[in-house]
Amino acid sequence: MIRDITIGQYYPVESVIHRLDPRTKLAISFLYIISLFLANNKYMYLLALVALVVYIGFSKVPLKFMLKGLKGIAIFILFSVVLNMFFTKGDPFLDFAFIHISWQGFRTACYTTVRIIFLVLGAAVITYTTTPTKLTDGLERAFSWLKRFRVPVHEIAMMVSIALRFIPILVEELDKIMKAQQARCADFENGSIWNRLKSLFPVILPMFVSAIRRANDLALAMEARCYRGGDGRTKMKPLKYTVCDRVTYILLLVYLAGMISLRILL
Amino acid sequence: MIKAEHVSFEYFRRDENGNVSDMVEAVKDLSLEVKQGEFIGILGCNGSGKSTFAKMLNTLLDPTEGEIRIEGMSTRDESNTWNIRKNTGMVFQNPDNQIIGTIVEEDVAFGPENLGVPTDEIWSRVADALETVGMTAYREQSPNRLSGGQKQRVAIAGVLAMQPKCIIFDESTAMLDPKGRQEVLRAAHMLNREKGITILFITHNMEEVVEADRIVVMNLGKLVAEGTPQEIFSHPEQMQEYGLELPRITELAVRLKKNGIPINGTILDEDTLVSEIENVAERLSGGHAERAAYMGQKTQAEHAAYIEQKAQAEYTGDTEREDPAEVMRSGLILDHVSYRYNPGTIYEYPALRDVSLSFAKGEFVAIIGHTGSGKSTLIQQFNGLLEPDSGHIYFEGKDVFEKGYNRTHLREKVGLVFQYPEYQLFAETVLEDVSFGPKNLKLPLLEVQQRAFQAIEAVGLSDAVYDSSPFELSGGQKRRVAIAGVLAMRPDILVLDEPVAGLDPVGRKELLQMLQQLNQKGMTIVLVSHNMEDVAEYADRVIVMNQGTVDFDGKTAEVFQREEYLQELGLDIPVVTHVMKRIQEEGYQVNAGEYRMQRAVEELAAYLSGQV
């Protein structure tokens, strides 16, 4: 059940997007999200869609696989749809008994849904196409200017990278502990919400114990391999921009220019 | 290379209020000297202080007394820390908890990166290290997709890339299957031989240190014995006292000696034992040519017939399989069960394919098969934790996935103990944890407590533990509490996934004997195991899993007759059977199908003394 969540999982295929420098992909994600918030008419959404299709197309990650990841945020989408539809005042679109939906409400709901889906898909491509190590490397380099303000950028990046490595292991462990308690007739599916929450205690506590034990082991293993923070550390794979990255940056600028001109002109 | 002088390590245990409740001396006055290029085996039961000692060698812990010098550098001097760690690499127990990188080659690079090695050299070091341990083909894979043995080899490569003079294996084989153990052990010997790297090999498994140059035995924090494998294993009583055992082959020789067979010296390998037995046979009867004459009235043909008859009896067995109608009524049946993980994604793979099995009351069944053969998936079908894609599961004659079937009843009657079950303990007290199952069955309080008490007793724990926190107990005790938690539901069938993994020799023996007792009281035991010796000693029936199918299902005697077949699957036959087979091949007419040690000893003793 938990294993079904595909969002944030690296999808191992060869593609141009996979080979891009993580910093480039970070820039794409960041600027694409901003462009979506600029969008206020259907032409802009159309352009954003074209960009998204190109981006996903080149990444070679199957759309089906990506759409599955949307399941996790379905409730969030529904919530925003309901909120927008029923609570936006304007010309009536549907008037039935106690249900009042305005044209404006309907429109905003549609746009918001499209915007959320674009945003999640656009931002998720980086996680599907970048190994966690590269991603954290990219983040570390992209935010290295923060070091001047004494932000421990390297340490944070290392923490994130380890957390990402352990997610699949912990998910598997969670699955196992849940099953082990179910084998002792624990019931996670029935009863009141309070009872269901209470029934999770025998799962959460062992998970904490296990996470702490693993953290302890890992800290020892890292120390034994001479880890002592980011100072004086070299890299096996230092980040370097290639021609592909330069071309991508140009395309990204063209896209942004397009979005801005559409907003100003229409 | 390594010089430890009168080293002690103490730590304080604190109670809930932070006051010192007692002081534990993990290592006491230990002195040891290791020369460059030696292969040292370190033995000791759980809590003997061997891991603490290993961590002091790597400056992960500082001795409270005494001094350790690595290549002349004192571990007390903090300026030496990095140099010492670079020189003495460590491979830990849990393969998952020591891999830092998300890709194999990036993990191997972690050490050199920390040491500030230039990028070009990191690449060549990583390539060399992976080549040495034979993992080059996996360099771009995620470590999560490797087997345990492969993960440990990656960990070894990670240490190698720092170019150490010494590698400490801290129970690095404890969590692996036999194939993985072999991989790690072979790598250790290879590094020792070819690169002259000093090896300290800490383990519970006696077989792994018979080829060491020297063995060090630790007990209660002290170094209690030191010597060549020959010397160490020639004192069986002493080994037992320290909670250890003998290698199987040595044990067999010792037992033969006890039964009056004059075998010389301490035997550490099969060839020597077989030739010793041959010698005895020669001496006693003047060789097998005149064997028939020596045996007096019996002719060789008659003896052959007797052996044949004995082997036949083993195959068909006196305990006939229960009649199908009875199994239908009271047993567990899997009918053409198939199961796939992650259907419809690129991660999809079929874990079970058309599996049909049945279990009758009172059987002791072992399920064997290499890692990934579907054993764990299979046992999760038994109590309905995984629903098969196709096929049916029947318990007591009812389909357990039919609408309206009470699955709680199934889980009550088919108890499932997962691997490392102590990781699922959660309650404040042992009693509370063990009561969890019966409480979920909504039984009256009195009944719940009664069952919990009985279960704790059944696993051999004293009533003193009722109110202690399960987290304070030792590893072996924790495991028993976890098993008690399943026993408290009073299952008819108890299924256990590798229940002795990681336990020391005494712990595993006690646990297996406990299962045997439960079985004798009528409980069906289904044991998933990698250890052929355990399977041989305890199981009556063996199921061999291979690539998600039941490849073989039959009597223990039958399966161990198929040496080549088992080896093809990465499994093996027990040491005892191996020896018996070889003696038979030499022309002596013993029952080559014998797989239990005691019976083999009796058979050999009788044969050799001419009493057959």
- Angle of helix B575-585 relative to helix B597-608, nearest 10 degrees, comes to 30
With CA atoms as reference, the chain B residue closest to A213 would be B97
pLDDT value at A3 more than 70? no
Q: CATH 3.40.50.11030: does it fit domain B2-243?
A: no
Strand partners of residue B12 = B23
Cβ atoms of B180 and B149 closer than 8 Å: yes
Q: What one-letter code names the amino acid at B604?
A: L
Region B24-31: mean pLDDT is: 91
Position B296 confidence tier, pLDDT thresholds 50, 70, 90 = very low
User: In the structure, what pLDDT confidence band is assigned to residue B302 with cuts at 50, 70 and 90?
Assistant: low
Residues of B in Cβ contact (< 8 Å) with A209: 423, 471
Q: Which residue has the tokens 């303000």?
A: A149
State the smallest CA–CA distance between residue A206 and chain B in angstroms. 5
Residue B294 has pLDDT above 50, yes or no: no
CB contact under 8 A, A173 and B423: yes
CA distance from start to end of chain A: 46
| Beta-carbon count within 10 A of A77 CB | 16
pLDDT tens track for B251-262: 999 999 988 888
In angstroms, the separation between the Cα of residue B523 and the nearest Cα of chain A is 17
b/e map of B41-58 (b: 16 or more CB within 10 Å)?
Answer: bbbbbbbbbbbbbbbbbb
B113, B426, B486 member nearest A233 (Cβ)? B113
Whether B436 and A202 lie within 8 Å, measured CB to CB: yes
What is the radius of gyration, based on Cα positions, of chain B?
27
> What number is the average pLDDT over the span B544-560?
93
What are residue B527's DSSP bridge partners?
A: B366, B496
Query: What confidence score (pLDDT) does residue B228 get?
Result: 96
* pLDDT of amino acid B66: 93
Phi-psi sector, B420: left (phi>0), alpha (psi -120 to 50), beta: left
Give residue-wise pLDDT tens across range A89-122.
777 777 776 777 788 888 888 888 899 899 989 9
Record: contact B423-A206, CB cut-off 8 A? yes
DSSP H helices in chain A: 16-19, 22-38, 42-59, 63-70, 74-87, 103-129, 132-142, 153-183, 193-199, 201-224, 243-265
Q: What is the pLDDT of residues B87-110, one digit of tens each?
A: 999 999 999 999 988 889 999 999
* Distance from C-alpha of A29 to C-alpha of A221, rounded to nearest angstrom: 35
CATH class of B324-539: alpha beta
- Region B252-274: what's the mean pLDDT? 89
What confidence tens digit (pLDDT) does each residue in B366-392 have?
Answer: 999 988 889 999 999 999 999 999 999
From the list B55, B102, B424, the residue facing A206 with the nearest CB is: B424
Is B436 in contact with A184 (Cβ distance < 8 A)?
A: yes
The structural domains of chain B, with segments of one domain joined by +, span 2-243, 250-316+576-608, 324-539
> Which pLDDT score, from 0 to 100, does residue A105 have?
84
Nearest chain A residue to B109 by CA distance is A236
Does the structure show a pLDDT above 60 at B299? no
Percent of chain B with pLDDT over 70: 92
B148 touches chain A (CB under 8 A): no
Question: A200-233, pLDDT tens digit by residue?
Answer: 899 999 999 999 999 999 999 999 999 988 888 8
In the predicted model, is pLDDT for residue B293 greater than 70?
A: no
**B55 contact residues in A (CB cutoff 8 A):** 220
The backbone region for A16, taken as left when phi is positive above 0, alpha when psi lies in -120 to 50, beta otherwise, is alpha
Q: Return the pLDDT at B291.
A: 53
- Given a cut of 70, is residue B351 above it in pLDDT? yes
Q: Minimal CA–CA distance to A101: which of A110, A90, A112, A111?
A: A90
Highest mean pLDDT, choosing among A55-64, A226-235, B198-207, B366-375: B198-207
CB contact under 8 A, A226 and B114: yes
Please name the residues in contact with B505: beta carbons below 8 A apart, sequence gap of 6 or more. B45, B204, B206, B243, B244, B245
| Mean pLDDT in residue range A240-255 | 94
Contact A185 B58 (CB under 8 A): no
Q: How far is B260 from chain A (nearest CA, A)?
A: 49
Nearest to A61 by CA among A15, A4, A120, A115: A15
Give yes or no for a contact between B612 and B606, defined as CB atoms under 8 angstroms apart.
yes
For residue A128, pLDDT beyond 70: yes
Shortest CA gap A74–chain B (Å): 20
Q: How many CB atoms lie within 10 A of CB B131?
A: 13
Nearest to A206 among B415, B425, B486 (CB): B425
Calculate mean pLDDT across residues B559-571. Answer: 90
pLDDT tens for A177-201 read: 999 999 999 888 777 888 888 888 9
Per-residue pLDDT at B314 exceeds 70:
no
pLDDT level of residue B587 (50, 70, 90 thresholds): confident
Q: Which of A164, A225, A238 sits opposite B111 (nearest CB)?
A: A225
User: Which among B85, B412, B421 has the least Cβ separation from residue A180?
Assistant: B421
Q: Per this entry, what is the length of chain A?
A: 266
Residue-level pLDDT at B279 = 85
A210 touching chain B per CB within 8 A: yes
| DSSP per position, B557-576 | HHHTT-HHHHHHTT----HH
* Residues of chain B numbered 469-508 and touching chain A (CB < 8 Å): 471, 485-486, 489
What amino acid occupies position A128?
A: Y
Owner of token pair 């899993």:
B545
Chain B residues 411-470 with CB within 8 Å of chain A: 411-412, 415-416, 418, 421, 423-427, 436-437, 440-441
Q: What's the pLDDT at B318? A: 45
What part of A 69-128 touches B (C-beta under 8 Å)? none
Q: Is B474 exposed, middle or buried (0-12, 13-18, 19+ CB in 10 A)?
A: exposed
Q: What pairing do the DSSP bridges indicate for beta strands B65-70 and B364-368?
A: unpaired
Going by C-alpha positions, the residue among B459, B475, B428 that lies closest to residue A202 is B428
User: Can you tell me which residue has the tokens 């360099």?
Assistant: B139
Rounded Cα–Cα distance for residues B201 and B171 (Å): 7
Using CB atoms, which residue from A10, A65, A217 is nearest to B98?
A217
Please tell me the pTM assigned to this model: 0.85
Q: Do B100 and A182 touch (CB under 8 A)?
A: no
In the three-class reduction of DSSP (H, G, I as helix; E, B as strand; rest coil), residue B406 is classed as coil
Q: What confidence tier does B177 reach under pLDDT thresholds 50, 70, 90? A: confident
Range with lowest mean pLDDT among B75-84, B442-451, B526-535, B587-596: B587-596
pLDDT class for B297, splitting at 50, 70, 90? very low
Report the Cα–Cα distance between both ends of chain B, in Å, rounded. Answer: 56
Identical fold for domains B2-243 and B324-539, yes or no, is yes
> Which of the residues B114, B121, B478 would you substitute to probe the A interface, choosing the one with the greatest number of A C-beta atoms within 10 Å?
B114
Asked if residues B278 and B586 have their Cβ atoms less than 8 Å apart, the reply is: yes
* pLDDT at B571 > cutoff 50: yes
E strand segments, B39-100: 39-43, 65-70, 73-74, 88-91
Token pair for residue B560? 């161990």
What is the predicted ipTM? 0.86
What are the CA-CA distances from residue A169 to residues A165, A176, A214, B99, B143 (Å)? Answer: 8, 11, 10, 12, 11
